[in-house]
Amino acid sequence: MSIVADAKNGLFTLHTKNTTYQMKADSLGTLLHVYYGERTDDSDKSYVICMKDRGFSGNPYEVGKKSKEYSLDTLPQEYSCYGTGDYRISALKVQNMDGSLAAALRFKEYQVIRGKYTIQGLPAVYSEKEKADTLEVILEDPASKVEVHLLYGVLEENDIITRAVKIVNRGSDRIVLQKAASLNLDFINGEYEWITFYGRHVMERNLQREELGHGIHAIGSVRGTSSHQYNPFAIVCEKNTDEEKGKCYGFSFLYSGEFQMEAEKDQIDQTRLICGIHPDNFAWNLQPGEAFDTPEVMMTYSGAGIGMISRNLHRTIRKHICRGEWRDKRRPVLINNWEATYFDFSGEQLAKMAKKAAGLGLELFVLDDGWFGKRDDDNSGLGDWFPNEKKLGCTLKELADQITECGMQFGLWFEPEAVSEDSDLYRTHPEWAVVIPGRRPDLSRNQLILDFSRADVQDYMIERMSAIFEETPITYVKWDFNRSICDKYSMALDAQSQGEFSHRYVLGLYRVLESLTAKFPHILFEGCSGGGGRFDAGMLYYTPQIWCSDNSDAIARLSIQYGTSFGYPVSAMGAHVSAVPNHQTGRTTPFATRSCVAMAGTFGYELDITKLSEEEGEKIRQQISRFKKHYDLIQYGEYYRLQAPSDRQCTVWEMADPEGKEALVSAVFHHVEGNTAPVIVRVQGLREKACYQMHLYMEDLPEEAGKSFLTHLPYGYKEGERITGAALRQCGLVIPGAMQEFQAWQIHIAEVE
């Protein structure tokens, strides 16, 4: 077992392959956090907790008059409470029936369970029973009889520990949870920074690194979703930590709704991290005997830099969060019609595109917005999920049959959570819209939100989408959501329960997704929210890939995909080759550059393929062939960030075979310079003593420049030349210089005997 419980001394130690986590119930029953870091032994490390009489830090009544050193305001805790002497940010805030806001948790009991716990109605890391363990520690507030069950899941081989909380009202009166975080982690000492990922629509997950100085630092979302603006993932690290060295901790929240991550450095230089549902629009009623489950947080520690944090999370997401037959099955190379046609298309036009695409080796045709209801723009029809046969010129099944007869699979775009005022669904069920009675609603993209907190709305959407899936040969669904939620109010909840709306909405969304993915396991679901507005580990439990951003410009995508890579694997990032000039930025980039960047994701195309030349068509064939050849390496390899988009010259990344047999290094130059300094990167993940040969893929190289360039290749590219893994790591790999604006290179490195 990876969990060692010393009941006599109240000591609990969790071990993964490279890390140790320890907590201790003290003589008062307070569950103290003791240690999280590099793997060590089971001995009691609570001696590092220093107690001292601190002015204005009060003492629990139970410790008596002679123990002024004992204060909840300074002790490192596993789950802190508001209102009873700890003045720092807290994990739990309970309103009791008498109006008081107080809870004081004391250790009650524990159990160790073989296998990983699950959470009813919520996504959670899963594992084979013999490869994971669970520790459940039960705390109790003696006054109110509120129980808090702290759940710890340990995936030893993955260096992952998960955290979740179940709160049970064992008292005789109703209570209201005003805050119920999933994670409380206290760092007893150290100077820390944290890395968070901010953004906006079409520019998501920009890296920001800040010192965690005294005071409260916070990111979060009150938009109903995890949002474009802040991602529910953060890294806490010591100063000077980089990709390959330094101590750091990664925290990923498996939740697709409103969240908050807070960090506070306190009066004695301890740092506390809190993560959970955002409390601003949260007030959950718990009647006697009822329980509330918080979403899960996945955490990992690395003493070898940030890159290891990412690789730990990537492996876990791919194998222990993503589910179903599409978790490991090769996903098809798709073409989406959106940027080719927008709303203006006919069935005949779509069939023509599909036929041309099939001839070039594409495997899946995706019909985007505009195929249903009265939907020729974004002002009407949303919610009326009935094919517009007049617009298509045939039934949806007939169109799908035409496309599948070409040898392609067929997919559809949906936005199930929204509704147009000009729609039959809204006219029939205005009470299903999220609006506040007596107020005019806030519109976004000319649409309202459907109340997914309601069971009847959930049931309707399951029935309507199931009918389409059963009638039509569909193998792919793009699940979109194109606005933030405000005017939060449900006609199905009473006034006392409106604070439950936002979380109930997410639970409803998960119920619909769980039902549809279980019922139609052959369908590949791709998540989307105006691109990356709901890119989180919670959605990946239902949709194994997410459209990374509505911005498909290759140069902008360098930053977007770079930021995304810190917490999420390549196999989760939806990425397409689009037309130039790009529709979002107006930038023109070489075809090879667009394909190179899109290959750092699930790979597909989004352009009018009927307008491409024969030469461009041949390039698509080559790109698809290369992607398929290196599919396993790209999708399942170990990811290394070799040079960041913030570098003056170029961005470089690498996918390495887990066994070190091969690697694919990709580089994209940001611009062309004269007389440039060489770009040399240290290749990671290869076998030190093995020998390797390299193959340089060259596309879009001007003919004359190409002839000149081929006679000046750096060492290691010439036919038959060999170089060791040690040399590539220690001395580096020379990236060929840029021969044109936004030049891209892909270099395949393969072991030879």
Task: Give catalytic residues, as residue numbers.
Answer: 536, 616
Q: Which residues contact 296 (CB under 8 A, 6 or more apart)?
A: 119, 122, 123, 124, 125, 153, 162, 163, 164, 182, 253, 254, 255
How far apart are alpha carbons 211 and 272 in whole angstroms?
14
Give strand pairing partners of 206.
198
Distances (CA, A) of 517 to 254, 307, 323, 349, 462: 18, 32, 10, 30, 10
In the block, residue with structure tokens 């209102």: 83
Question: In this structure, what token pair is assigned to residue 733?
Answer: 């790999």
* AA identity, residue 88: R
Task: Looking at 567-702, list the stretches that DSSP marks H as alpha helix, in order from N- to C-terminal side.
Answer: 591-598, 614-629, 631-636
HSE, CB side, 13 Å, CA atoms: give it for residue 472.
27
How far apart are alpha carbons 305 and 241 in whole angstroms?
6
- Give the closest residue to 175 by CA, choosing from 72, 81, 292: 292
Q: What are phi and psi of 170, to 5 degrees?
A: -95, 0
Give strand pairing partners of 289.
none
Q: How many CB atoms lie within 10 A of CB 689?
A: 8
**Helical (H) or strand (E) element with 199:** strand 192-200
How far apart are alpha carbons 151 and 138 in whole angstroms?
9
Residue 581: asked if its preceding bond is cis (omega within 30°), the reply is yes
With beta carbons less than 8 A apart as the criterion, state whether 109 and 124 touch.
no
How far apart are alpha carbons 188 and 269 in whole angstroms?
8
- Give the closest residue to 469 by CA, choosing from 424, 516, 407: 516
Buried b (16+ CB within 10 A) or exposed e, 606-618: bbbbeebeeeebe
Question: In this structure, what token pair is assigned to residue 216?
Answer: 């409260």
- Give the closest residue to 561 by CA, choosing from 599, 509, 507: 599
Give strand pairing partners of 687.
none
Q: Which residues contact 715 (CB under 8 A, 6 or more apart)?
A: 721, 723, 734
**Strand-strand pairing, 418-419 and 448-449:** antiparallel
331 burial (CB, 10 Å; 0-12 / 13-18 / 19+) is buried
CA angle 660, 666, 668 (to 5 degrees): 160
How far apart are alpha carbons 655 and 565 in whole angstroms?
12
How far apart are alpha carbons 542 and 686 in whole angstroms?
33
CA angle 305, 310, 313 (to 5 degrees): 130
How far apart are alpha carbons 753 and 732 in whole angstroms?
21
Total residue count of the chain as it appears in this document: 753
* AA identity, residue 746: Q
Maximum CA extent, the chain: 88
Q: What are phi and psi of 211, to 5 degrees?
A: -70, 135
Give strand pairing partners of 164.
151
CA torsion angle 194 195 198 203 (round to 10)? 170
* AA identity, residue 36: Y
What one-character DSSP code corresponds to residue 105? -
HEC string of 715-739? Answer: CCCCCCCCEEHHHHHHCCEEECCCC
